[in-house]
Amino acid sequence: MSLVRLEDVTKRFGQLTVLDQVSLKVEPGEIIAVIGRSGSGKSTLLRCINGLEPIQGGRILVEDDVVNDPKTDLRKLRQKVGIVFQSYNLFPHLSVERNITLAPTVVKKMPPAEARKLAEEALARVGLSDKIDAYPDQLSGGQQQRVAIARSLAMQPKVMLFDEITSALDPELIGEVLKVLEALARQGMTMLLVTHEMGFARNVGTRVVFMHHGKVWEQGPPAQVLGNPQTPEMKSFLGSVLH
């Protein structure tokens, strides 16, 4: 069974069709790099998967749960789908520890001591064990983004969505975040990530999905899609990002 399945998903903002009958299956353990020009609907695709945006047509499933069914408990569903945003969105008034333990204690009713252990483990995975008592504004962008990843991991999601999580970072900080993603990939985490890091997509991704005008325009194994693009749109996109 696919972990995530999109069937003819259509998403509109008013008159503007942002996702146009998108179909996509994500199998457990896959690492899918979503690429495409600005405005092609990449972020919207991710946001629809965890129900942050309602859709106007088609169906989205996460395991057996239909995301766009009004009867679905979105809060339950979101525990299975982690998302990390470009702008980190840590809670500025809470310590790193509390940022991570908030959802486990409040949503999953985990006892505080257990949640603290969980936070320690999650921070170890992103290499920030020494920052557990810091506040977000005391951290660099790269560190904040790693805390955001740890916060999401602490909910033990089945699939993680990453939306250009290195785009707001200074070049010298991108590497540390990508390293965390690579480690997650090695541990078998299923991931859907919007990225402009073509090297990362090629080396770590199991599949590349190229979005254009709200459609899945081309997809396949990274080496094939990036090395031998079939459509002129994909060719010109690759030309513009690689030079």
Partner 1 sequence: MIREVNSLDLLYLVAAGRWTLALTAMAFVGGGILGLAIMMLRIAPLKPVNWLAVGWIQAIQGTPLLAQIFVFFFGFAIFGYKVSPWVAAGVAFSIYASAFLAEIWRGCVEAVPRQQWEASAALGLSFPQQLRYVVLPQALRVAIPPTVGFLVQLIKNTSLASTIGFIELTREGQITTGATFRPLTVYGIVAVLYFLICFPLSQWSQHLERRLNVAR
Ligand X SMILES: Nc1ncnc2c1ncn2[C@@H]1O[C@H](COP(=O)(O)OP(=O)(O)OP(=O)(O)O)[C@@H](O)[C@H]1O
Rounded Cα distance between 159 and 27, Å, is 10
Q: How far is the CB of 197 from Mg ion (least distance, A)?
A: 14
Q: Which is nearer to ligand X, 35 or 118 (CB)?
A: 35
CA-based nearest residue to 56, from 23, 5, 4, 14: 14
- Close Cβ partners of 122 (under 8 Å, ≥ 6 residues apart): 100, 150, 151, 153, 154
Q: Does 92 bind partner 1 (CB under 8 A)?
A: yes
Q: How far is the CB of 165 from Mg ion (least distance, A)?
A: 11
From the list Mg ion, partner 1, ligand X, none, partner contacted by residue 76 (C-beta under 5 to 8 A by kind): partner 1
**Beta pairing partners, 10:** 57
Q: Which two tokens stand for residue 226?
A: 């990036």
Q: What is the contact mask toward Mg ion in residues 36 to 55, using x (rule: CB under 5 A)?
A: -------x------------
Q: How far is the CB of 48 from Mg ion (least distance, A)?
A: 13
Chosen residue from 20, 27, 72, 102 binding partner 1 by CB under 8 A: 102
Q: Does 42 bind ligand X (CB under 6 A)?
A: yes
Q: Within its chain, how far is the Cα of 95 from the centroid?
A: 23
Q: How far is the CB of 71 from ligand X (least distance, A)?
A: 25
Q: Does 157 bind ligand X (CB under 6 A)?
A: no
Q: Does 151 bind partner 1 (CB under 8 A)?
A: yes
- Determine if residue 14 is left, alpha or beta; phi over 0 gives left, psi from -120 to 50 gives alpha, anything else beta: left
Q: How far is the CB of 202 from partner 1 (least distance, A)?
A: 28
Contact 228, 216 (CB under 8 A): no
Q: Does 41 bind ligand X (CB under 6 A)?
A: yes
Q: Does 79 bind partner 1 (CB under 8 A)?
A: yes
- 236: number of Cβ within 10 Å: 11
**What totals of helices (H) and strands (E) does the chain contain, helices first?**
9, 10
